[in-house]
Amino acid sequence: MPSHRYRSAYDRVEIPLTDRHWPNARLTRAPLWVPVDLRDGNQALAEPMDPARKRRFFELMVAMGYTEIEVGYPSASQTDYDFVRLIAESEIAPEHVTIVVFTPARRDLIERTVTSIRGIRNPVVIHLYTATAPTWRDTVLGKDRRALAELILAGGRDVLELAGDAPNVRFEFSPEVFTLTEPDYALEVCDAMTTLWDAVPERPVILNLPATVEIASPNVYADQIEYMHRNLARRDSVILSVHPHNDRGTGIACAELAILAGAQRVEGCIFGNGERTGNVDIATLALNLHAQGVDPMIDFSDIDEIRRTVEHANRIEIHPRHPYVGDLVHTAFSGTHQDAIRKGFAEHRSRAASSGMPESELEWRVPYLPIDPADLGRSYDAVIRVNSQSGKGGIAYLLEAELGVALPRRFQIEFARRVQRHTDASGSEVGAAELWELFAREYLADGPAHFALIAHETVGDGATSRSRIVLRAGAAEHTHEPDGDPGADGDHGPVAVLASALAAHGTAIDVLALHQTSVGAGSDSAALTLLEYRARDGHSAWAAGTSSSVLEASLAAVIRAANAVHD
């Protein structure tokens, strides 16, 4: 790799900051979130949004609780201009929502932007930007520092002239490519703009410091933000904003450290859409706060509806591993993960029962799940899924959660081996229905049978009652009924009598354990008995039986065990 062609960010931008405060800060409250999907995210789409998609997306943002939304670049396209006019001429924007419009520092474009917002009753922010980094100054704009500062101020004066008298309008300035701009120059032009626009606490100016191109590790961005935070003039009259991109894949970390460093406002796209590798993902940022016990101030309680709307508007599918919203982010295939999650759910239910608190109010501490999927409107159906990497815990959880079948631990180990062979052969995932089909094939299917239970009944009353069974062994039928007093002779129940009858015909069944459960829920659920018995080689084996009654299921399990031993 020709790495020698590139320069370290530490060599390109020297930040005069030695006593950093941000490493000791903590995230304790949400910043002001400003989604820019309708402008910045829209510019990054192969097929920009039509008016209907834009409106649906805007209405989603309002419903989620965003109070400031950048709605477009009205001087850049007729669609954006018309959408701003729709907001002005309709009531789709509640009066508390601030509308942000974007413009470069060029008078004719500023004029069209100001024209687009006429009649809007909402608070409005006019967002002015100019690139300030050396490469952009030299290569794109052809201006030195002094000439560029004058261009920026000229744009600021145009904004002030055309919209300064409007009581509902405030101003925002972005020194584009802030991360590659000399800190002293960024400070100079930002202070010049707050002076020009007469920033005061009652009418603050937004200074937005974008990582237009992410060029360094997040700690460098934090240093840059803290330097501005601590050195800006009129700091109490400035809302310090950040706009991280994700070129290095660390946009989220940059935004979080920037908040620690003094940023009060974050611009981004809900799921990170944007030019190149995208803008910062503000859903992930917000839900990271939620996972730390901090109210994100935005409603993500129906994450799948949010995803559907964003996918419809952007015509880009969300990756299944996308944090929080992806289809698989709450799903475990690994056996060790599944076992821990299953135990975590059980412990959570137990704590809720013992405390008397609802499960939804109890502190969440389930392994491998940083937040409760229910917080996002998701069920637990897909939390554990079974493939060739899964273990007994995942199989047991899936059968119990989907079908109500509770398996004892020793049987989980036995069944998991058979599931493993099946998934290794198929190479695919199996759901609860397929697991049950495999279970039935392995433990409930009837093959050649030497023994069959023809009938059973209870004879006698009270303490003298006993079971009578009719057993077919080979081609002959035999009736068995124990003699004597149950107290002297032992157990005269149906299972014991059947085992005794089988032993009399040369097939002794050494029953180690009987486990009763059910398949499904409600009064019409079937009983399932899992019988552990000792096989001829001295090792334990399993048989199963199912019926509408527990007794019938148990007797069926004994017969299957006997046929397996006889074979």
pLDDT single digits (tens) 260-305: 999 999 999 999 999 999 999 999 999 999 999 999 999 999 999 9
Q: What 8-state DSSP symbol labels residue 38?
A: I
Q: How far is CA 310 from CA 216, 315, 387, in A?
A: 30, 8, 31
Q: How far is CA 49 from CA 40, 113, 244, 277, in A?
A: 12, 19, 23, 19
* pLDDT at 383 exceeding the cut of 50: yes
Phi, psi of 301 (to 5 degrees): -75, -10
Q: Of 229, 220, 250, which Cα lies nearest the Cα of 186?
A: 229
The 10 Å Cβ neighbour count of residue 23 is 11
Q: How far is CA 14 from CA 153, 183, 233, in A?
A: 25, 8, 21
Range from 11-20, 280-289, 398-407, 423-432 that averages highest in pLDDT:
280-289
Q: Which two tokens stand for residue 136?
A: 């952009």
Confidence of residue 391 (pLDDT cuts 50, 70, 90): low
- Cα angle vertex 252, ends 246, 257, to 5°? 120
Burial grade of 321 (CB within 10 A; 0-12, 13-18, 19 or more): exposed
What pLDDT was estimated at residue 488? 40
What pLDDT was estimated at residue 55? 97
What pLDDT was estimated at residue 489? 43
Find all residues with CB under 8 Å of 295, minimum gap 6, and list them.
Answer: 29, 30, 289
* pLDDT at 203 exceeding the cut of 60: yes
* pLDDT at 229 exceeding the cut of 90: yes
What pLDDT was estimated at residue 434? 83
For residues 517 and 128, the model is more confident at 128
Place of tokens 């049978």: 449
Question: Crossing angle for the helix pair 51-64 and 303-314, nearest 10 degrees?
Answer: 160
Query: What mean pLDDT is predicted for residues 470-479?
Result: 88
* pLDDT at 62 exceeding the cut of 50: yes
Distance (Å, whole) CA 211 – CA 243: 6
Confidence of residue 515 (pLDDT cuts 50, 70, 90): confident
Range from 56-65, 423-432, 451-460 that averages highest in pLDDT:
56-65
Sign (positive or negative) of CA dihedral 324, 245, 223, 176: negative
Range of weakest confidence among 159-163, 164-168, 395-399, 417-421: 395-399
H or E segment and range at residue 35: strand 32-35
Helix ranges, 1-106 (H): 9-12, 42-43, 51-64, 78-89
What pLDDT was estimated at residue 145? 96
Distance (Å, whole) CA 267 – CA 273: 12
What pLDDT was estimated at residue 485? 53
For residues 485 and 330, the model is more confident at 330
Distance (Å, whole) CA 563 – CA 451: 6
Helix (H, G, I), strand (E, B) or coil at 267: strand
560 close to 539: Cβ distance less than 8 angstroms:
no
Find all residues with CB under 8 Å of 393, minimum gap 6, and list them.
Answer: 335, 338, 339, 340, 341, 342, 343, 384, 412
* pLDDT at 172 exceeding the cut of 70: yes
Q: Of 113, 109, 107, 112, which Cα lies nearest the Cα of 126?
A: 113
